[in-house]
Structure 1
Amino acid sequence: MTGISLRYRVATPEDIGLLLPLINSAYRGEESRAGWTTEADLLISERIDASGLLDKIQSPDTVILLAADGNDVLASCCELVWRPEKGIAYFGLFAVNPKRQGGGIGRQVLLYAEDYASRQWGAYKMEMTVIWLREEIIAWYARRGYRKTGETRPFPYADIGNGKALRGDLYFEVLVKDIQERN
């Protein structure tokens, strides 16, 4: 596990300029190839734009968590969406600076997000979606207790904006983990 001490906080609209480069560099474009989470061979586009990120930050059932290192440099972020009708928190928009991937930051942030969803909302499960072709990412989550549900969800081709998908067979696998006993 990494020896990096992280500090967490919930994002505000003022953080958009800080978050966009981190998120987009972790998923798409040449910079994303420095890490192992790149989708650059699957999609040509930004992962999210300022308007989409603002919508998430302002949504009442959503938080974007920021994780900064001891020098107050943004190292990672993730999105949590509370689905109270199911007792489930959705985990997404997970980004670790590509040059810092593989050092345990992602593991720490995931654990913090699980704890946050359990403490703040009483969530008993964490759910996420991963592009089915990303076997190494699915395996990483499996090592952290997530399991495939057998459910799939369509890929939002219409929401790519000015980008394009490099494949027409994309869809998401749904993964889930129990994060606390249900009362």
Structure 2
Amino acid sequence: MPTVRVAEATDAPTLVSLVRRAYQGERGWTTAAALLNDERMNEAQMLKKIEDPETTVHVAMDGSRIVGCCELVRLENGKVHFGTFAVEPELQAAGVGRYILTQTEIAAAKMGVTCVEMTVIAQRPELIAWYQRRGYALTGETRPFPFHTLINGGALRDDLYFVVLEKPVSMGV
């Protein structure tokens, strides 16, 4: 399995490319290409995440190659938000994502938080089910989809919204 480390500013271009391949490509099972045709994020946005003191971007390394990433954003309510999760498409469904998620949950517990929350596009039932199999539960809360943040493209549907999932974490994860 890969090693996980904290991202550095020099990782930003590679991370943006990875996120775009994972979300907009046709090869991975987690692609959102049927819902969105935007670039997902740009280098400036990734750098902002890496440099934000309330955010930790984690990078999964297979030797010297970045094969996955995610972020934890500290929230005011004692929780962290998990997002920007991407795995190289050819490594999806091989346990890499599960490993990264587990390592990130351990990191969250070490931060002293008790809960990891995330948002998933409601129209992605297979992805919601994957997180549920890993212990995340739907909270019943929904959030609007940020159509205004799309980059060089747009949504292919106008009914997108997020569902919120949560999982309690502790040092015993």
> Normalising to structure 2: TM-score of the pair?
0.96
Deviation of 1:74 (Å): 1.2
Q: How does 1:43-54 map to 2 (within 5 A)?
A: 43-54=36-47
**TM superposition shift of 1:17:** 1.6
Deviates further, 103-112 or 9-18: 9-18
Is the contact made by 2:40 and 2:151 (CA closer than 8 Å) also made in structure 1?
no
**Distance (Å, rounded) in 2 between the aligned partners of 1:88 and 1:94:** 17
Matched, 1:158 2:135: no
2:69 matched to 1:77?
A: yes
Displaced runs of 4 or more, over 6 A:
none
Letter in 1 for 2:167: K
SS at match of 2:26: helix
Runs of 5+ unmatched residues, structure 1: none
Question: Which residue does the alignment assign to 1:17?
Answer: 13
Matched with 1:137 is: 127
SS at structure 1 position matched to 2:77:
coil
Report if the CA contact (8 A) 2:41-2:151 is conserved: no
> Could you tell me which residue of structure 2 aligns to residue 27 of structure 1?
23
Aligned to 2:81: 90
Please point out which of 104, 110, 124 is paired with 1:113.
104
Shift of 1:78: 0.3
Counterpart of 2:164?
A: 174
Q: 1:146 aligns with which of 105, 114, 136?
A: 136
* Match of residue 58 from structure 1: 51
For residues 19-42 of structure 1, give each alpha carbon's deviation from its aligned partner in whole angstroms, at most 9, with x where no partner exists.
1111110001xxx21110001011
TM-score, with structure 1 as normaliser: 0.91
- SS of 1:26's equivalent in the other structure is helix
Quote the Cα distance in structure 2 between the aligned partners of 1:40 and 1:48. 14
Query: Matched residue pairs, number?
Result: 171
Secondary structure of the residue aligned to 1:33 is coil
Root-mean-square deviation (Å): 1.0
Residue 72 of structure 1: CA displacement? 2.1
Distance in 2, matches of 1:72 and 1:36, equals: 25
The runs of 5 or more residues in structure 2 that have no matched partner are: none
1:122 aligns with 2:107: no
Shift of the alpha carbon at 1:161?
Answer: 2.7
SS in 2 for 1:165: coil
